[in-house]
Structure 1
Amino acid sequence: MSRSEENVRLSVGDAELTVDPVHGCRISSLRIGGAELLRQGERYGCFPMVPWCGRTGNGQFRNGDALHELPLNSPPHAIHGTGRDTSWHTAHTAADEDEGRASFYYDLAEPWPYEGRVTQTFELTEDGLTLGLAVETYGNSFPAQAGWHPWFHRRIGGGRDAELSFDAAWQEERGADHLPTGRRIDPVAGPWDDCFGMPDGVDVKLTWPGQLELTVKSRSEWVVVYDEQDEAVCVEPQSGPPNGLNTAPRLVTPIDPLETTTTWSWVRL
């Protein structure tokens, strides 16, 4: 592990990971054998979506009788949580002594209406990366979500376009407002900006022909696939569907934090 003023770099074998805790604790770079897998830029890389994922309809959600309003950063909705816009702290744990491990945290604050802490962990090996997110409350229970939004390069090293492969049990029908309608449909052909259900856990394969095969897995059953841009393909494992604070609330309580993980594994072709 090495640190600059802002970034933390992990290196195992020919895998190199750079985390930028100051700018949303996002992965700013993931290089395998010198090839950059993630789209570069302050909005890209791979950022955590927390304490909600995707769009929250009209920036509003309820917790019991309380109605809360979030900033409309993607009008008319609130999108992707507050973690990506927050400076995180590096956790000083024994794991820091291991070159392939790192952990970070930030305390929930306005505009999120509840107090708590979010922790993100990274574990890099020669052929994989495991990410973890945990959301804890300091008192009151509240609904929350957590997940990741990686921007994988559509092409690496001047090669052919990446190919997506997955088998979903259903697709959330997307309304004109980009929110799920509540109806589950058979998966349709892309391009996508859509949420899919995988009850046995997320399992999506991204293949750069002749170069690399990367598999995204998670115990969570929800994944958003976004491939409407020429530059990148996004495979987003998350703990609930878009607008899930309203439609599928998962309460974080003092004795039951929200915890989710994803593992990216890769093989050279």
Structure 2
Amino acid sequence: MGLKKSFRYRINFFLELIGFIFPLTIQYFLWTGVFSASGNNITFGYTLNQMLAYSIFACLTSRIISSNFVYEINSDIKEGGLAKYLIRPVNYFSYNLFSYLGEKIGTIITSLIMILVLCVIFYTISSNIISISHIILYLITLILSLILNFYIYYCISELGFWMKDASGAIFITTLVGNIVSGGIFPLDIFGDMVKSILTFLPFSYTSYFPVSILCNTMEYSQILKGICMQILWIFIFVIITPRLWGVGIKKYVAIGG
């Protein structure tokens, strides 16, 4: 279902693909300006090449794990569309999960091709930025990031049970989540204290963690710890999600549909 939907709106898909170049252009001029003004080769613990690599890979990773389905769930709850799923032998969670993964196939393929091409380019610039082992580890953690991000935003979409219209809260949460996840720039720029707080949250393990692996800015001990944290947060959400849904569904009243 999700795969069909992805190809049905292939014009939007290609426009989205082209559209991500704009924020990357801004990032390029921003960081070249910052490094030029500072006069240092290393800023926030990154060289200019590492920072540009992070910005590009973070943008592509954010595209892969983005969760637009939250607005559809909010609409189902608000407008009564959820009722048709409740009276059918369909698991609403599983339906959304597989639709989400199906919609992501095209984005995943194109983004990974671009990432691999860029890895080759950055490797020719400096072998210290990219390595084969880190690409493999990135792909492993990306799968966990995809699952974790789905759970995070599925829980956020459940706010619709307690709000008349949760679209505003979803928008703000998604915007803030993109920042604190490291989807725009590395968490290192916030300083050690704020970074240590953010790394306790699940958001940092969706973008910052896998992208930092790809950019070769993490030790293997940190990578192992990060993978354990990804699995732990997924386990926590596996427990929380159905319980939160169970409480919310008791408040649900179908109007329209």
TM-score by length of 1: 0.27
Higher relative contact order by CA 8 Å / sep ≥ 6: 1 or 2? 2
Higher relative strand content: 1
Rg: which structure is higher? 2
Higher relative helix content: 2
